[in-house]
Amino acid sequence: MTVAELLDKLSAPEPPLLIDVRPRPTVEAEPGIPAALHLSLDELAQRHGELPRSRDLVLYCACPADAASAQGALLLRRKGFSRVWPLAGGLDAWRASRDGVEPLGLMPVNGLAI
């Protein structure tokens, strides 16, 4: 999913759930997209059952070729999720698209036992 597609979906009545799959030390040192849920790939593998299957899930990372987010999306697809995508360009693409733009008011993650 491209950043433009994500921005379009974020204005929908039920926006996608954003999942930051970067390692925890990286997330603590460098915050990601506001309101994103942080689940490392290991946590994603263990806790996928807590994620909503009826909602779009967009995974992102900051690795070359979106490797971690693509791996996470593949893992979830193998677990039966059909509405899951890696964010093309990851966190860098998000930041580039938002440069000079007012912060986007994202909905907090509610009702998720994570």
Domain ranges of the chain: 3-98
Would you please indicate which residues are annotated as catalytic (active-site) residues? 61
CA–CA separation, 12 vs 45, rounded Å? 28
SS3 call for 44 = helix
Q: Three-state SS for 61?
A: coil
CA dist 78 and 26 (Å) reads: 27
State residue 59's pLDDT score. Answer: 98
Please determine, for residue 13, whether its predicted confidence score (pLDDT) is greater than 70: yes
Under CATH, which architecture does the 3-98 domain have? 3-Layer(aba) Sandwich (3.40)
Q: What are phi and psi of 42, to 5 degrees?
A: -65, -45
Each residue's pLDDT tens digit, 52-106: 999 999 999 998 889 999 999 999 999 999 999 999 999 999 999 876 444 454 4
Q: What is the DSSP string of 68-93?
A: HHHHHHHHHHHTT--SEEEPTTHHHH
Q: What's the alpha-carbon Rg for the chain, to the nearest Å? A: 13
Assigned token pair, 60: 């992102």
pLDDT of 17-55, one tens digit each?
Answer: 999 999 999 999 998 998 899 999 999 999 999 999 999
Q: Which residue is associated with the tokens 């440069």?
A: 99
Residue 32: which of 13, 60, 57 has the closest Cα?
Answer: 60
- Residue whose structure tokens are 């690795």: 63
